[in-house]
Structure 1
Amino acid sequence: MIKALGVFPLIFILAGFALPAHSGPYDKEFRAYLDNQVIPAAEKAGVSSQTLQRELKGLTPDTSLPGLVGPGGKGAPPKINFQAEFREPANYFRDSQFNAQIGPGRRKMQQHGAALAQIEKRYGVPKRIILAIWARESGYGGAKIPYDAIRVLATRAFMGQRPDFFKGELIAALKILQSGDVSRAAMKSSWGGAMGQPQFLPSSFLKYAVDFDGDGHHNIWSSDVDVMASIAHYLQQHGWVSGRDWGYEVYLPDTVSCTREGPDNRQPIRDFVREGVKRVSGKPFPDYELARPGNILMPAGRYGPAFIATENFYVLKDYNESDTYALFVGHLADRYTSNKSFVGAWKPTRKTTRGAVRTLQQVLQKKGYDVGGADGLIGYKTRRSIGKDQEAQGAFATCWVG
């Protein structure tokens, strides 16, 4: 390390990086990790020694964070789904959660009408979609985001499940501090390391944060306008198709198997209409949509509503890798106009854990099914694999656990 960092870092280690008087069980190992792995990589990426000294001095790991597995990312993965997006869908879609966001969202839409019109024109993303993401991520900025981003990212890099990923995010966060866009005191994140009102990881901030209010700072912590524009820019850069909606709730007849779910099974929407798929609203699909591709979406299999999703649904999913998250955003966006619930019911489902789902995925993999990886999360590949196995056993496919 001394060879890699030169003469200055030796003083830096002895004087600036001394351990606190009352150290925890991992503090010494954590300091060695910062000195030997983070600092050389950060300097190579252009972070100055002065920035590193200022921001990493006296840093200790926060071992209270959920989902940690041990130094070096070695240890058993957690059995609990800490993020709401990866738990049973029925609890995620309670009407009360939507109703609580409708009024504030409509007021924000009116308050920022002129800015939203400019943002929508520049990026091609509807204002209702922008507001729905803002609502879900931070309650339009009202949610508490209390964690020190540097400490969270450093801890997850040291003892989380994805050490290399979070080391990269930590270095990106140090670059942000070096740029002067935000102070360390203001650089707050969630326990997962996502920052500010739109909950950007540091690498996303560097790519997509926008100074739309023109004050010289990309401020996703306290500027409403920058927050909204940054969300729109993110979606635009991830392929938002202007002029298309995210999807439509439908009646899916029993003759159309839930095992056909997924964006890799897209077909023209008119073909679904020929198979008896209908919108629950009773309205026909718009004419301009009929020749365009869509796919079946069933976040709870036959235990919940069914949808025909467009490619824009998967742009929303790029924001948070969860079908339920993307559906929440799309549905909330619709409810700003007409506050109507889903027509299909979210039926009670068997409670499970991430560990149990991982075990099920491993069983399905041994049978030759593609579950998309044994990660303990019930994505569309896992859902349809469950359904295919049910059909193979002569049962009606529900595409859900149990």
Structure 2
Amino acid sequence: MSGRTEGGATERRLCGLAFFLATLVALLLATPASAAKIDDQFHAWLQGDLWPEANAKGISRKTFDAAFDGVKPNLKLPDLVMPGKKATTPQKQHQAEFGSPGAYFAEKTVRAVTSGGRSRAAANARTIAAIEKRYGVPDEVLLAIWGRETGFGAAKMPYDAFEVLGTKAFMATRKDFFRTELLAALEIVERGLAPVSAMKSSWAGALGQPQFMPSSFLNHAVDFDGDGRADIWNSVPDTLASIANYLVHYGWVKGRGWGFEVTVPETVSCSLEGPDQGKRISEWADMGIKRVAAKPFPARELKAEGFLLMPAGRSGPAFIVTPNFYVLKQYNTSDLYALFIGHGADRIAHGDSNFSGSWGAVGGLHRSDIATLQRALEAEGYDVGSADGLPGFKTRRSIGKWQAGNGRAATCFPDADLVTALK
């Protein structure tokens, strides 16, 4: 009896072990790949998918192999989608837009750009004057971008561009975008514009002191110092001229600034914001919008088009911006980034003076909260641009329209009460 029991227990243990192993294998096959498996998939993708396209575009095997020698996917990069998973809207926010927009303009950060810009304007006066003469972009704008992007070249680029772009082209939320940039990076090396060893980047794959994506390097990098190559890694003249060339390509209007801080009376709806609702600046003035500190609008601007910008709705400073503001947004699609550059440029040129308007205690929402609000507004027929969790101008003005239509004071900025009301 005891013999049968012991034998039965052994049999059950063996059966249990077999079941466990079978289950483990099934789980490994069904769940997202391990890091080692992702490495294998990545290299299979490189050779079977990317290489044929690169080769068809004129990339040599030598360049391709040198670019990816020792490269593995960097799973610590943001915005990745693991094999077998679907992209989801992040629950937590990290970008400045989701806290108070005022945090983006911390005095320590702004002052580092403005004081550094003034000192470099003096040190590079002749070069900067020549660049401004050729391209028509004010030197303070170029300096503000240079300072914001890489601390005037002091910031180190810790990533291998082919690791970053390869990882993101293989498994990011915007694969197609990064695939295009990866092929452009290969072209840079193939054409001898930079060696593989120089291709260091940010976590997003941006290169050099102006932080150009590879395609922007190919399209806009300039050899301004006359040494025969566009060197945005080491040459200040090439860096600043390349930034100017980029802005001109996207429509910089010579002789106009970026905009003016203004006061907006309650009789003017914050839902009038946006680049598709422009008016002559004289018309905005006739509606009661005034420059701060009792300054008049320049006479040459009155007949020109301007646009209302209220990046925190009624809870922050307001601006009338020119088309050049939206050229700055071509450099980085954030309203706050473009505003930082404009504000920084003003301070480089005219001295340190902060906004007259103050930023209110707004923000604190998760990106998912804003996406929920956007979907609710879309369901009621409002155009929010995209339900992406980003409170851009279309979302802000749609909030204002909804608030006004539902008997609320129009603030044109998301808050927790609004999210609850629209659920």
Structure 1 runs not aligned, ≥5 long:
1-21
Instruction: Label 1:274 to 1:331 Cα distance change in 2 as closer, same or farther (>3 A).
Output: same
How far off its partner does 1:396 sit?
Answer: 1.1
Equivalent of 2:104, from 84, 92, 96?
92
How far off its partner does 1:355 sit?
Answer: 2.0
Equivalent of 1:141, from 153, 173, 180?
153
In the other structure, the counterpart of 1:311 is 323
Stretch moving more, 33-42 or 322-331: 33-42
Q: Distance in 2 between matches of 1:204 and 1:123?
A: 17
Write the letter of the residue equivalent to 2:359. Answer: W
Q: Distance in 1 between matches of 2:121 and 2:204?
A: 29
Contact 1:73–1:159, Cα closer than 8 Å, also in 2: no
In the other structure, the counterpart of 2:385 is 372
- Look up the SS of the partner of 2:261 in the other structure: strand
- Look up the SS of the partner of 2:307 in the other structure: strand
Q: Distance in 1 between matches of 2:155 and 2:94?
A: 18
In the other structure, the counterpart of 2:196 is 184
Q: How does 1:12-161 map to 2 (within 5 A)?
A: 24-71=36-83, 74-84=86-96, 88-161=100-173
Instruction: Label 1:72 to 1:260 Cα distance change in 2 as closer, same or farther (>3 A).
Output: farther
Instruction: Label 1:313 to 1:23 Cα distance change in 2 as closer, same or farther (>3 A).
Output: closer
Provide Cα deviations, 1:238-292, integer angstroms capped at 9, x if missing partner. Answer: 0000000100000100100100000100000001111111000311101110010
Contact 1:74–1:159, Cα closer than 8 Å, also in 2: no
Contact 2:164–2:205, Cα closer than 8 Å, also in 1: yes
Write the letter of the residue equivalent to 1:132. Answer: A
Q: Distance in 2 between matches of 1:138 and 1:356?
A: 32
Identity %: 52
After superposition, the CA RMSD in angstroms is 1.6
Contact 2:114–2:144, Cα closer than 8 Å, also in 1: no
Q: Distance in 1 between matches of 2:80 and 2:98?
A: 17
Contact 1:72–1:158, Cα closer than 8 Å, also in 2: no
Please tell me whether residue 343 in structure 1 is matched to residue 356 in structure 2.
Answer: yes
Equivalent of 1:170, from 174, 179, 182?
182
Decide which structure has the larger Cα Rg and report it: 2
How far off its partner does 1:215 sit?
Answer: 1.5
How far off its partner does 1:361 sit?
Answer: 1.0
- Look up the SS of the partner of 2:70 in the other structure: coil
Write the letter of the residue equivalent to 1:235. Answer: L
Write the letter of the residue equivalent to 2:409. Answer: F
Q: Distance in 2 between matches of 1:72 and 1:269?
A: 53
- Look up the SS of the partner of 1:281 in the other structure: helix
In the other structure, the counterpart of 2:309 is 297
Write the letter of the residue equivalent to 1:389. Answer: W
Structure 2 runs not aligned, ≥5 long:
1-33, 416-423
- Look up the SS of the partner of 1:26 in the other structure: helix
Q: How does 1:256-267 map to 2 (within 5 A)?
A: 256-267=268-279
Instruction: Label 1:100 to 1:272 Cα distance change in 2 as closer, same or farther (>3 A).
Output: same
Please tell me whether residue 227 in structure 1 is matched to residue 239 in structure 2.
Answer: yes
Contact 1:72–1:163, Cα closer than 8 Å, also in 2: no
Write the letter of the residue equivalent to 2:139. Answer: K
Instruction: Label 1:335 to 1:176 Cα distance change in 2 as closer, same or farther (>3 A).
Output: same
Contact 2:209–2:239, Cα closer than 8 Å, also in 1: yes
Provide Cα deviations, 1:271-320, integer angstroms capped at 9, x if missing partner. Answer: 11111110003111011100100010011111110000100000000100
Q: Distance in 2 between matches of 1:58 and 1:116?
A: 41
Q: Distance in 1 between matches of 2:159 and 2:58?
A: 25
Aligned pair count?
A: 381
Write the letter of the residue equivalent to 1:102. Answer: T
In the other structure, the counterpart of 2:30 is none
Please tell me whether residue 285 in structure 1 is matched to residue 297 in structure 2.
Answer: yes
TM (norm. structure 2) is: 0.87
Q: Distance in 1 between matches of 2:98 and 2:106?
A: 15
How far off its partner does 1:353 sit?
Answer: 2.0
